[in-house]
Amino acid sequence: MRTIALVALCIVIPACANGQCNPTLSDVNPDVNSKQQLAHWEQTAYKLHQGGKFDDELTCRLEYSKLAWEAMSKDPKILDKYELYNALFLNELPLAILLEGKKRVDEAEKVFRRNQEELDHLRIAGNDIKSDNQLGLAQLLFSTGKTEEAQKICSHWKNRVKHNADFAVQAVRTNVPTPPLYDAPEVEIGRWNLACGDPQRGEDILRTQMLAHPEMLAPYTALGNYYVQTGAFAKVMELALQERRLRNRAKD
């Protein structure tokens, strides 16, 4: 479960007034380039998500996606490999998840599949982001009756996802000073169950990890994404409140 970007896409730019996605930065300043505009959309979309404004978030993410792919169609090298990774991680994967949650299933499937195509050719992309995207696709396929392909995806990742956390567990065991636990095999297994096995079991596993490791972001991210993808937006906000309570309690 990837929860931290490798690098920032670009400079940080203040969000639009009132958290909306208009006007674009280029309307205000014609010298703004595509990377600056992408950074602006991403930051604004994140703030809208945090505020529970999911329709406005979707508008931002669609604007980001449109600009990114248009820019790359004109110049395939406009984003280096790290910037492309971040575009997929910070926008395209959340976009696919949100599109399905908003019942725009055909569009969501197209984005998941485009992500997979890009990730297959991106050397720095690990199994964490690849499994997140493919399990998201599998969840969508199950919901639309395309069970054969969904089952193949689930079978491929069933015994692999737990190893996504190997680097995090190893870091806690060997690094000095000891870093915070970033991921755990149980989180990855819980994520797999949300998409492929027993969703209630997956949720129970993730909630157990939240209580055991309240400062670990991965279980909140996995469960939050599941709620978004299933359109349970009230639960997304409830989970955010629970996360704040658990984190504050851990600090006391």
- Express each pLDDT in 18-27 by its tens digit: 445 654 444 4
Q: In whole angstroms, give the CA distance from residue 147 to residue 163.
A: 25
Is the pTM higher than 0.85? The answer reads: yes
**Is there a contact between 227 and 94 (Cβ–Cβ < 8 Å)?**
no
The per-residue pLDDT for range 71-94, each reduced to its tens digit, is 999 999 999 999 999 999 999 999
**Token couple for 104:** 């725009």
Lowest mean pLDDT among 29-33, 129-133, 179-183: 29-33
As a 3-state breakdown, the chain gives helix, strand, coil percent values, each rounded to 5, of 70, 0, 30
Q: How confident is the model at residue 43 (pLDDT cuts 50, 70, 90)?
A: very high
Q: Is cis: bond before 76, omega within 30 of 0?
A: no
Average pLDDT (169-187) is 82
Q: In whole angstroms, give the CA distance from residue 184 to residue 95.
A: 25
DSSP letter string over 68-121?
Answer: HHHHHHH-TTSS-HHHHHHHIIIIIHHHHHHHHHTT-HHHHHHHHHHHHHHHHT
Average pLDDT (1-8) is 40
- Considering only CA atoms, which of 248, 205, 251, 249 is closest in space to residue 226? 205
Cα 182 off chain centre by? 15
The per-residue pLDDT for range 213-238, each reduced to its tens digit, is 999 999 999 999 999 999 999 999 99
**pLDDT of 15:** 41
Average pLDDT (52-72) is 95
In this prediction, what percent of the chain has a pLDDT beyond 90? Answer: 71
